[in-house]
Structure 1
């Protein structure tokens, strides 16, 4: 049996929403409530996050993808639409490479198919050092707020605090392993480009984690590309209604095709 913890709501076409780094499946609760009138929405905790334990050998996206493939089979999640936020997008791409046409459609939400460059890899290494020295609580308290542009942090203070509290449900070993996993991941742009199904990308013009210039380089490989103006890395918080509308309409188009 899979050790993946998850919640689900609704019936019909399966839509799997995969959370990002320093996040848990619960971050999608608002989206799942809104989408569940039309879809079966399933939100897993990635290993080392929430209630999903981290396997000792788990140190690659490929291993996580195999684990999720087994989990989907066990829970009769067939022909799903899979959308991932940030790290969740990297996981989705690894799943896409593994499962191909067995995924009905895919989406990248503030994510990228490109591998880390050397500057980003150095940042990942510093993250590991910080986590080992200071632990989860101090890290997530400093990591989450800058994902949102400074001018909106006061307005979204309550939502940021909720995100920080959710992030505290990630384990230290989990965050360290996932940081290394992100650093070591390979480029999967060709995997994305060659996939013949519908492909969604939602980018933030002020995203500091996934730069808008990098997102725009994906347009030739994407069927449904959207930019959220004046938005950082957490569009589901910063532009909740707009991003929810994009996801809902994308899923509806996929089902109607």
Structure 2
């Protein structure tokens, strides 16, 4: 059941289920808390699971046309303070991982573990920054086709056939994202800074889950990042959407990680 609070006159939507160690699940760009629906049941019997609709996604409102990682994090932190969470494990998918890193930077003593799921502590390359800038111009003219194309391109041809129903469901959720939410998040990702130090300088448990065929994050770069930041890394066979392409392996990996935390 979705609940909500008001943050800076914006509605923030979240869910809070189960009892035990608190695990905060943060979705990625053009997703919302429903991305965790097939994952949550494996954890709610032993853990308290919090899912959040980020600003400009799902049932949460926008605050402007730039949602920096700091602004996203303020909103998430408002929910966590509302729930009076003292310690928790963070799992962030893609954009969600960037926000987890900012949360950990601001509140390192509250973090029991941090999992970057198809995400990175590296900043965008110059090429990717240019792509995001162009996308924000193009999205205003042809939102549906842009979202459909960028979303489907996250999957290889084999995955598109094998997970056709799940991909279509996720795509329909992506298409519900307002244009303002798209632009604000994309700009926030474009201007975000390198966060390697968050992983290097803290002692909480760290895990990077990478996709061998990820078209967004090169697996070789992820392996180098893990070594550089002294983080554990698990490489799954699929691409950028491990919760769809490698669901069972992801659940197994997360359960092991949670025990270690």
The two structures have a TM-score, normalised by structure 2, of 0.93
SS in 1 for 2:49: strand
Flag the structure with higher helix content: 1
* Aligned match of 1:249: 256
Q: Deviations over 1:38-59 (max 9, x none)?
A: 1011110000000110112753
Pairing 1:21-36 to 2, within 5 Å after superposition: 21-36=29-44
Cα distance in structure 2, aligned partners of 1:246 and 1:96: 21
* Runs of 5+ unmatched residues, structure 1: none
What residue in structure 2 maps to residue 51 of structure 1? 59
Q: Does 1:152 align with 2:159?
A: yes
Cross-structure match for 2:177: 170
Q: What CA distance in whole angstroms lies between the structure 2 residues aligned with 1:83 and 1:213?
A: 21
Instruction: Say if 2:120 is the partner of 1:126.
Output: no
Any stretches of 5+ residues in structure 2 without a counterpart?
Answer: 1-5
* Counterpart secondary structure, 2:20: coil
1:238 aligns with one of 219, 241, 245: 245
Q: Does structure 1 retain, via aligned residues, the 8 Å contact 2:65–2:183?
A: no
Q: Deviations over 1:142-199 (max 9, x none)?
A: 1211111112211111011011011122111011000000000000001111111000
Following superposition, the deviation at residue 223 of structure 1 comes to 3.9
Tell me the secondary structure at the aligned position of residue 41 of structure 1: strand
- TM-fit CA distance, 1:224: 2.8
In 2: Cα distance, 1:29 partner to 1:77 partner? 22
- Tell me the number of residue pairs that the alignment of Structure 1 and Structure 2 aligns: 252
Is the contact between residue 55 and residue 181 of structure 2 (CA under 8 Å) also seen in structure 1? yes
1:140 positional shift: 2.0
Q: Secondary structure at the match of 2:39?
A: helix
Which secondary structure state, in structure 1, belongs to the residue aligned with residue 91 of structure 2?
A: strand
Higher strand share: 2
Structure 2 residue aligned with 1:19: 27
TM-score by length of 1: 0.94
